[in-house]
Amino acid sequence: MIYLVSYEMGEPGADEVPLAATIREYGDYVHIHGKVWLVRTAEPASRIRDKLRRLAGPFDQVYVTRLHADRAWLNLFVEVAEWLEGLKEEDFK
């Protein structure tokens, strides 16, 4: 399954490195831009959120949602577009 994961730090200057490092631990991910990532995993959205929750501050925001096959993009970095183009229908089931 493919999930969109995004976060916003609640306090100026807050360290987002631990959140990004946890997302990278999934191994099969792409960093879309800013604080938006796509992750391929069999885990449910709630488990992804819970992993990030342990690192998030009291005012940090985290959003995780499962993606479906219908998608479109414009002007993404080549490596991001290639990752998206490599997805197969079964990745969304």
Q: Taking residues 45-53, report their average pLDDT.
A: 96
Q: Taking residues 16-41, report their average pLDDT.
A: 93
Instruction: Compute the distance between CA of residue 85 and CA of residue 60 in angstroms, rounded to an integer.
Output: 31
Look up tokens 């990532």; give the residue.
37
**Helix, strand, coil share (%) of the chain residues, nearest 5:** 30, 25, 45
User: Confidence band (pLDDT; 50, 70, 90) for 11?
Assistant: confident
User: Confidence band (pLDDT; 50, 70, 90) for 43?
Assistant: very high
* Residues whose CB falls within 8 Å of the CB of residue 93, separated by 6 or more in sequence, listed in order: 1
Q: Which of 33, 27, 40 is nearest to 1 (CA)?
A: 40
Which of 12-21, 49-58, 74-83 shows the lowest mean pLDDT across its residues? 12-21
User: Confidence band (pLDDT; 50, 70, 90) for 37?
Assistant: very high
Average model confidence (pLDDT) for the chain? 92
List the CATH number of the domain containing 24: 3.30.70.240
For residue 49, give its domain range: 2-92
Predicted structure pTM score: 0.87
Amino acid (1-letter code) at residue 87:
L
- The domain tally of the chain equals 1
